[in-house]
Amino acid sequence: MKAIRIYIAGFLLLSGFIFSQNIDSLQNVYRTYYETKLLKTNSAGRYAVLNHHNTYGKDEDELIDLKINKVTLLKKHDFYQFLDDDILFMRNKDQCRFLNVKTGQYIDINGHFIATVSKPYQKVVLYDTDSKILMTISKEAKILWKEDGVSKYQLNDTSGQLIYISDHQLGITDMKDQKSKTFKLDNTVQWISCKDNAVYCADIQRSVITLYSVDLSSNQLIQRVITSPEGFEFVPTLSGFFEIREDEHFLFPMYLKSKFTDKVNPELKITYSNINSRNKNLNRYLGIYNIKEKQWEYVPDDRLQLPVYEFLNDKGDFIFYDQSSNIIEADPNAVLDLKLVLDYGKKNHILPQKRSDQVNYLWDRNTEQFIYFDQKRWKSFNLKTGNVKELMPPNTTGWESNGHNGLGNNPELIPIRVRNKPIILFSNQYDYFTLDLRTNEVKRITKGEEKSVKYKLVNVKDQNPHSSWSIKHSEIDLEKDLIFKLFNQLNYHSGFAEYSAKNNKTVFYSQQNYKEMIPYDKGLLFTSDFALEPFKLTRFENGKYKVVYDALKADKEDLKKMSYEIFQYQTSYGLSNAAVLFPMGYDKNKRYPMIVNIYEKQSRDLLYFQPPYLTASVGFNYLHYLMNGYVVLLPDLKYETGNTKNSMLNSLEKSIDSAKLLASVDDKNIGIAGLSYGGYETGMALGNSKYFKTGVAGVMVSDLVSLTLSNSEMNPTPNYMRVENQQFRMNSNVFDDWKNYREHSPVYYLKSVETPVLIWSGLKDKNVSPSQSRMFFLGLKRLKKKAVLLEYVNESHNILQPGNQLDLNVKMWQWFDYHLKNKSPATWINPVL
């Protein structure tokens, strides 16, 4: 196959035999390429399960013995878990398999099972959704316990209890010895919960809840009846929001009854300019009932229209606010009055005019400090003293997320608590800092900014228990080492570092584009892939690195015939990155056509190996073009707030100028392609730059004015939110900045478009209206300019049907080959000529 592939690639490059008669042959070449991902390893680091997949239907799983390099093809399963070093559990829709990886022998249990692995007990809980049979299975695949007619179940590995409902019976099974006890119930229950000390289940009706609880120490069954508060009703369908905390406080989701009783004409939708557009939504209200004291602790205010509740810890402290007060809906992170409620409703405090996005705040219960993000700085409000102070030294910067030029007013990362200490871990755009909330001492624990290396903590777990009500705040233990992933923002190398707070030392692991670090008993395994470098698995043991698995070995010689260079280029708006990729068999003495693929930070496409294929959902695969004689440029464009047009165009042209110094580019044959926001940028470039001979714009935005004053189907909020404060970065109201909005709309530059344009859209696009693409096309048509519009009737923002994917990819390729390589036009192009 390798010889055939090389022959075809050369044939395509040299002969121009590239369209309908050889698409199948090219597809056969591309089918040999695939992506690989690591699914599981055992604790000894000897065995690994890998998946190989591509867009041509390849989806194979393999078991690799990394010690002797033995590969065993596995029957396809969707779940893998090692029960110990030798037994691999696998599940698919037809069966569960227990495989001894040393002997190769296995036992199958047939059935359509939901599988839950109990790691502490090396057992598997299987539930057959068809027969309603619940079983516990040993790692030897023996059935240890079995129950018929089970409607619900839950496993708690901490307490070692498996609870289930069978008919009108609550059962509790001990995972250690499989001993069971059962309790008779009077009602059918829809909700169960297993805590460390008690088991709960409930029959949830709209007006009344019958709650059953079993104390695991006394095995006593208690029944309670809870009636809904006046004006509210319970929501049985939201079972994930029913929760009992500290074996006392019962949290309920409720709906406001008036939203059901209001008479509505199904033929009429009424919207008011002074009311939030989601006002009729069935937002859930929070109620809290104390099951020990048998009374309500917290009843929501029925005057609230769109309440949002966020628990701040695993106790009874939460934030709530009313979204309905955000009337204009222009800011995705609206400034609202927040209410801090403590101890399940015993106390509350008004926190006026705070950013409402949950990543913007943290509550420290011990020091009674509300920590929040405001104007790019972390601050705290002390509930005891009423004092507000900045938390980090004034000479530290970069705390804000730089996405969309920081218009989201969000922090780079949410702070992390330190277990059993009054210390918070903060992160800016590069590094991590600890802050002692009692002494105000700040300590920088990483040093990445000086080398343009971004640190990201990876061995961090959510502190809060699984809860639909809770903000997922995290917690670390400084008694244990911290693991950081490192990313160099100049050369894109990535690796890992291990930091010890005890001795303030950091161990670095070789940066070779590592993606994952997997500890095992005696060392570490690293996965890596990058651009033209397929998946590798590297072992680190006794201070030495060794590649133990290398994917696509037979194809690497072909991949080595292509190359890339990541570079920095200067613009009028600052320094930026770009990547230029050189085609197969690149000869610096020849000139090559170049395609510029744009969408904000497009150079990040190099971070993963992407095989060549003609079924890209966006119509463009850079490896395909490299294999067919093109230079490809992937620039990161610069954006000045309120001036995205000029800043984008300046950086786009500067990136091309810089790329031409590195690659032998035929500057008379440069094309541009972009999707969505990249389609918008492509339209803007074609009307304002003389660099391009042609362009392809997909699902584009043409007119910011009409986009701004509209809604997308997938988001009820007005589109002016994303135009003003998100991707388009206008940071202004269209009525206060009308001229600038027109200047930032590609449709108003159609008279200046001098090159043929290919435009495509999906007519079922719920993100960007297809009318935006059609508007651009109709303008070109009215001006008698050359353009073709492809409208895929049953596609949306991305092309998902394989046949349509192939059609779009081939048409884009044919379009560029005709305009940039002077190839004969495909039949479908002829009419526009």
pLDDT tens digits, residue range 367-398?
999 999 999 999 999 999 999 999 999 999 99
Q: Where does the pLDDT of residue 12 fall: very low under 50, low under 70, confident under 90, or very high at 90 and above?
A: very low
* Structure-block tokens of residue 3: 């010889």
Percent of the chain with pLDDT over 90: 83
- Backbone phi, psi, residue 76, to 5°: -65, 125
Is pLDDT above 70 for 657?
yes
Residues 519 and 527: their CA atoms lie apart, in Å, by 12
Residues 692 and 770: their CA atoms lie apart, in Å, by 25
Is pLDDT above 60 for 184?
yes
Is pLDDT above 70 for 23?
yes
Residues 317 and 314: their CA atoms lie apart, in Å, by 8
- Backbone phi, psi, residue 563, to 5°: -155, 175
| Mean pLDDT (the chain, rounded) | 92
Q: Which of 346-355, 454-463, 522-531 has the lowest mean pLDDT?
A: 454-463
pLDDT for res 462: 52
CA 159 to chain centre: 32
DSSP state of 601: B
For helices 644-662 and 677-688, the axis angle rounded to 10 degrees is 80
pLDDT for res 716: 80
Percent of the chain with pLDDT over 70: 97
pLDDT for res 21: 45
Neighbouring-strand partners of residue 224: 211
Q: Residue 86: which residues within 8 A CB-CB, separation 6 or more?
A: 42, 100, 101, 102
pLDDT for res 314: 86
Is pLDDT above 60 for 18?
no
Q: 171: closest CA among 189, 24, 66?
A: 189
Q: Which of 462-466, 512-516, 587-591, 656-660 has the lowest mean pLDDT?
A: 462-466
Is pLDDT above 90 for 741?
yes
pLDDT for res 701: 96
Q: Where does the pLDDT of residue 465 fall: very low under 50, low under 70, confident under 90, or very high at 90 and above?
A: low
**If you average pLDDT over residues 411-422, what whole number do you get?**
92
Is pLDDT above 60 for 464?
no
Q: Where in the chain is the domain with CATH 3.40.50.1820?
A: 561-822
Residues 786 and 753: their CA atoms lie apart, in Å, by 10
Residues 35 and 76: their CA atoms lie apart, in Å, by 16
Cα separations in angstroms, 207 against 225, 298, 303: 11, 17, 20
Could you say which of 3.30.830.10, 3.40.50.1820, 3.30.70.270, 3.10.580.10 is the CATH number of the domain covering 561-822? 3.40.50.1820
DSSP helix/strand/coil, 271:
coil
Is pLDDT above 50 for 7?
no
Give the pLDDT confidence of 209-228 residue by residue, as tens digits: 999 999 988 889 999 999 99
Give the pLDDT confidence of 39-75 residue by residue, as tens digits: 999 999 999 999 999 999 999 999 999 999 999 999 9
Give the pLDDT confidence of 189-209 residue by residue, as tens digits: 999 999 888 999 999 999 999
Q: Where does the pLDDT of residue 261 fall: very low under 50, low under 70, confident under 90, or very high at 90 and above?
A: confident
pLDDT for res 461: 64
- Tokens 């002390």 correspond to 382
| Residue bearing the bigger pLDDT, 225 or 5 | 225
pLDDT for res 8: 39
Residue 617 · residue 798 · CB < 8 Å: yes
Q: 680: closest CA among 695, 706, 699?
A: 699
Spatial strand order in the sheet of 369-374: 361-364, 369-374, 377-382, 388-390
pLDDT for res 738: 92
- Backbone phi, psi, residue 38, to 5°: -85, 125
Residues 795 and 695: their CA atoms lie apart, in Å, by 21
Q: Where does the pLDDT of residue 105 fall: very low under 50, low under 70, confident under 90, or very high at 90 and above?
A: very high
Is pLDDT above 90 for 407?
no
Q: What is the rounded (10 degree) CA torsion for 718, 722, 725, 728?
A: -140
Neighbouring-strand partners of residue 373: 378
Is pLDDT above 60 for 316?
yes
pLDDT for res 360: 94
pLDDT for res 14: 37
Cα separations in angstroms, 433 against 41, 95, 253, 418: 33, 49, 38, 12
